[in-house]
């Protein structure tokens, strides 16, 4: 394998460089679980500002803030009451300005989360819609329908929401509204001009405040075309999803909306950026990622893959090529606020037929977290992350990932918050396990998260993953991320990746390949041994390694007869 991918022109990560996003390391902050400055148990904006030195030491180029807008937190803030304000539980607009000034002062860009598929049911326009009669302009901003049955007592269709339970909720006068997620999240009607204009105002509002980019929630859901006679859920599910004509998801018209957003982005200098959260067929990401559209789209393929050399190779090859064709760069993600943290996913027990994705589903369905092989999971997660940080494209790091934080599997039902749990009783424990507030210190009521207890319970073992515990330990996951992110800066000037032949993987002849090796310009080599057995390591100066290197020769793992242990990655300079 010696094919070179990506020949996109050189990019330089200068602060005013309009291409800063192409290879940025982006740190996702879930604000209410990051750092609590005032002791109310909820993380806040001053908490983030106070941690700017931490982010600088970590070496990230940008932060993405999950929603911080006024919200009843029916879905962790993805139920927005007011798109142009800050939740008083989290801070004020003035504190937002202070935070952005501090981040920019440290050379860190700011991406905010935009939630355009739905508002909250407390949004002033939804309240207006409830107070207005059926057929009124106020109702036309959302998707209201009459019900079926003699008195309209049945929902307009049997569709279910993504979080489970019905997708329609009835209001006092008997009409029903559509919510693709929780009932507190009514879907906007994007055919409505006022809705379209209002979002343009929101984009300008945050761009004027200095925001550098937007992460666009459910980007594939905005444009809908619901026929008078709605198909049943079974019929809806059976419709093709990749032809641009599905009534609900990934319709071609959605790109007309993003073309108007692009005009706003490009009216700023440097242009504001955007990244689409669009769970669409891989081949359909290109339009979201195009320069006329949002500019970049998440690829969650590694997040969904097993820890497997062939799977990683194919995903990387496909996505680098696809991003290049769309003129964009790709994104790499292992963890975020919606999925089981990857050290836990990678440590799921290897039971028959239980691959990592199914394993995560098993865990979410209440599988016994004590069955997880934590040591192996962390070893693989560190290897996968180091390998990923060496790739061209944007690298997303979810808060706590740099500490190797596992999922918290045993949050008591009485303390769970995620609507996915409440709407799926007994079926899905929800996503709270990856949203537990960060441990900053070994001690304290919330391990330094804040002066008081945290809004979700932290297990006692969190102290061992605290920043304080890891900071001085050269073998910690925090030290690994810091070293990798510092070294990665040298890789950010070019986007070429060349797969290198793996001479002797040490694998049993005929077995699946267990090692991947690619090089980047400047003599960089990134090698990962996905298998369980040690292999011969290419020679070169070791820059960063995800775990101890076996060394049969002289020097720290780089002798001629050095070996790369199983489930370990290394960066070398040849
Ligand atoms: C995707 C977000 O990441 C998730 O947290 C949220 O629940 C849904 N979109 C609905 O907004």
321 and 374 inside one domain:
yes
- Residue whose CA lies nearest to ligand 1 atom number 5: 338
Together in a domain, 72 and 183: no
Return the CATH number at 534. Answer: 2.60.40.1180
Strand positions, DSSP E, 369-505: 394-398, 497-499
Cis peptide before 270 (omega within 30 of 0): yes
Please name the residue whose Cα sits nearest to atom 6 of ligand 1.
78
Kindly list the protein residues whose Cβ atom lies closer than 6 A to any atom of ligand 1: 75, 78, 115, 181, 217-218, 277, 337-338
Same domain, 328 and 427: yes
Q: Are residues 427 and 335 in the same domain?
A: yes
**Residue 264 maps to a domain:** no
What is the rounded average pLDDT for all residues in the chain? 92
**Residues 444, 447, 451, 456, CA torsion sign:** negative
Of 187, 204, 230, at which residue does a domain stop? 187
96 and 31 co-located in one domain: yes
Looking at the structure, do residues 307 and 417 belong to the same domain, yes or no? yes
Q: Does a structural domain hold residue 217?
A: no
CA distance 492 to 25: 10
Give me the pLDDT at residue 536, please.
86
337/387 same-domain check: yes
- Give the whole-angstrom CA distance, residue 471 versus residue 473: 6
The CATH number assigned to the domain holding 165 equals 3.90.400.10
Strand ranges across the sheet with 144-145: 144-145, 176-178, 168-170
CA distances to 44, 268, 487 from 105, in Å: 19, 19, 22
Q: Starting at the earlier edge strand, list the strands of the sheet with 109-114.
A: 273-276, 213-216, 109-114, 62-65, 25-29, 394-398, 331-333
Question: Is there a single domain that holds both residue 475 and residue 502?
Answer: no
- Asked whether the beta carbons of 335 and 398 are under 8 A apart, the reply is yes
| Residue for token pair 């955007």 | 274
| Count of domains observed in the chain | 3
Q: Decide which of 452, 484, 516 is a domain's last residue.
A: 484
Q: What is the pLDDT of residue 553?
A: 44
Say yes or no: 472 and 504 in one domain: no
The whole-number pLDDT of residue 353 equals 66
pLDDT of residue 427: 83
Q: Which residue has the tokens 């680098």?
A: 320
Mark whether 350 and 402 lie in a shared domain: yes
Q: Are residues 474 and 501 in the same domain?
A: no
Tokens representing residue 192 in the block: 């409505």
Domain edge (last residue) among 152, 187, 222 = 187
Q: At 36, which CATH number?
A: 3.20.20.80
Q: Which residue has the tokens 């925090």?
A: 478
Has residue 352 been placed in a domain?
yes
| Residue of 396, 461, 400 whose CA lies nearest to 435 | 400
* Atom of ligand 1 at shortest range from CA of 115: 11
pLDDT of 8 reads 47
Q: Which residue has a Cα nearest atom 3 of ligand 1?
A: 338
Q: Tell the residue number behind the tokens 């209440």, with chain if given.
A: 366
Mutate to test the pocket of ligand 1, among 164, 218, 423, 424 (most ligand atoms within 8 A of CB): 218
Query: Is residue 279 included in any domain, yes or no?
Result: no
Rounded CA-CA distance 31/47 in Å is 9
Q: How many residues does the chain have?
A: 574
Sign of CA dihedral 56, 57, 63, 68: negative
Does any domain span residue 336?
A: yes
Q: Give the torsion sign (CA, 472, 473, 477, 482).
A: positive
Q: Which domain holds residue 125?
A: 118-187
The token pair that represents 38 in the structure block:
């005032």
Record the tokens describing residue 44, joined without a space. Answer: 């806040």
User: Is 216 within a domain?
Assistant: no
Other Cβ atoms within 10 Å of 93 Cβ, number? 13
User: In this predicted structure, what is the pLDDT of residue 332?
Assistant: 98
With a cut of 50, list the residues of the chain below it in pLDDT: 1-2, 7-14, 506-509, 552-556
Q: Are 407 and 369 in contact (CB under 8 A)?
A: yes
Contacts of residue 476, defined as CB under 8 A and 6 or more positions apart, other chains included, come to: 403, 404, 469, 470
In a domain, 56, yes or no: yes
Pairwise CA distance, residues 512 & 309, whole Å: 8
Query: In 290-341, which ranges are continuous DSSP H helix?
Result: 301-304, 309-325
pLDDT of residue 503: 60
DSSP letter for 442, please: S
| pLDDT recorded at residue 550 | 74
Q: Are residues 340 and 474 in the same domain?
A: yes
Q: Is residue 75 part of a domain?
A: yes
Closest atom of ligand 1 to 420 CA is 7
How far away, in angstroms, is 321 Cα from ligand 1 center? 28
d(CA 79, CA 321): 36
Largest separation between any pair of C-alpha atoms in the chain: 84
Q: Name the E strands within 164-304.
A: 168-170, 176-178, 213-216, 273-276
């Amino acid at each position: 394998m010696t094919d070179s991918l990506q020949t996109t022109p050189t990019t330089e990560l200068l602060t005013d460089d309009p291409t800063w996003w192409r290879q940025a390391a982006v740190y996702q902050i879930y604000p209410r679980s990051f750092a609590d400055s005032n002791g109310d148990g909820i993380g806040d904006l001053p908490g983030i500002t106070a941690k700017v030195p931490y982010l600088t030491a970590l070496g990230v180029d940008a932060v993405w803030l999950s929603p911080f807008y006024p919200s009843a937190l029916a879905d962790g803030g993805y139920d927005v009451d007011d798109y142009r304000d800050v939740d008083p539980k989290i801070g004020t607009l003035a504190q937002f300005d202070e935070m952005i000034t501090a981040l920019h002062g440290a050379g860190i860009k700011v991406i905010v989360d935009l939630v355009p598929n739905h508002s909250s049911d407390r949004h002033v326009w939804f309240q207006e819609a409830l107070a207005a009669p059926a057929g009124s302009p106020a109702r036309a901003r959302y998707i209201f329908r009459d019900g079926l049955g003699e008195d309209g007592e049945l929902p307009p269709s049997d569709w279910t929401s993504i979080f489970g339970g019905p997708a329609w909720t009835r209001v006092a006068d008997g009409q029903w509204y559509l919510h693709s997620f929780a009932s507190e999240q009514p879907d906007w009607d994007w055919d409505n001009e006022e809705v379209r204009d209002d979002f343009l105002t929101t984009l300008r509002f945050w761009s004027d405040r200095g925001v550098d980019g937007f992460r666009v929630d459910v980007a594939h859901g905005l444009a809908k075309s619901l026929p008078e006679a709605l198909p049943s859920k079974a019929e809806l599910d059976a419709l093709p999803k990749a032809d641009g004509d599905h009534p609900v998801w990934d319709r071609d018209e959605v790109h007309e909306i993003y073309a108007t957003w692009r005009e706003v982005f490009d009216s700023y200098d440097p242009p504001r950026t955007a990244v689409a959260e669009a769970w669409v067929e891989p081949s359909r990401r290109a339009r979201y990622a195009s320069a006329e559209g949002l500019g970049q789209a998440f690829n969650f393929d590694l997040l969904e893959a097993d820890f497997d050399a062939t799977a990683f190779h194919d995903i990387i090859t496909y996505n680098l090529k696809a991003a290049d064709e769309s003129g964009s760069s790709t994104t790499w993600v292992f963890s975020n606020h919606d999925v089981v943290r990857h050290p836990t996913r990678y440590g799921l027990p290897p039971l028959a037929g239980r691959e990592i994705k199914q394993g995560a589903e098993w865990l979410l369905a209440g599988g016994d977290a004590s069955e997880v092989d934590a040591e192996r999971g962390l070893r693989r997660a560190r290897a996968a992350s180091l390998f990923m940080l060496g790739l061209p494209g944007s690298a997303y790091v979810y808060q706590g990932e740099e500490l190797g934080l596992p999922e918290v599997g045993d949050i008591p039902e009485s303390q769970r918050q995620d609507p996915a749990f409440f709407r799926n009783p007994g079926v899905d424990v929800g996503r709270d396990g990856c949203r537990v507030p960060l441990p900053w210190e070994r001690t304290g009521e919330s391990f330094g998260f804040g002066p008081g207890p945290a809004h979700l319970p932290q297990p006692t073992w969190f102290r061992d993953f605290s920043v304080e515990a890891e900071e001085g330990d050269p073998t910690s996951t925090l030290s690994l991320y810091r070293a990798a992110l510092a070294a990665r800066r040298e890789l950010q000037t070019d986007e070429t990746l060349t797969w290198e032949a793996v001479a002797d993987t040490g694998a049993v002849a005929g077995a699946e390949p267990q090692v991947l090796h690619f090089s980047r310009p400047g003599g960089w080599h990134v090698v990962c041994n996905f298998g369980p057995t040690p292999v011969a390591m290419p020679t070169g100066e070791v820059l960063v390694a995800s775990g101890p290197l076996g060394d049969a020769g002289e020097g720290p793992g780089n002798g001629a007869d050095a070996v790369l242990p199983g489930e370990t990655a290394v960066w070398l300079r040849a």
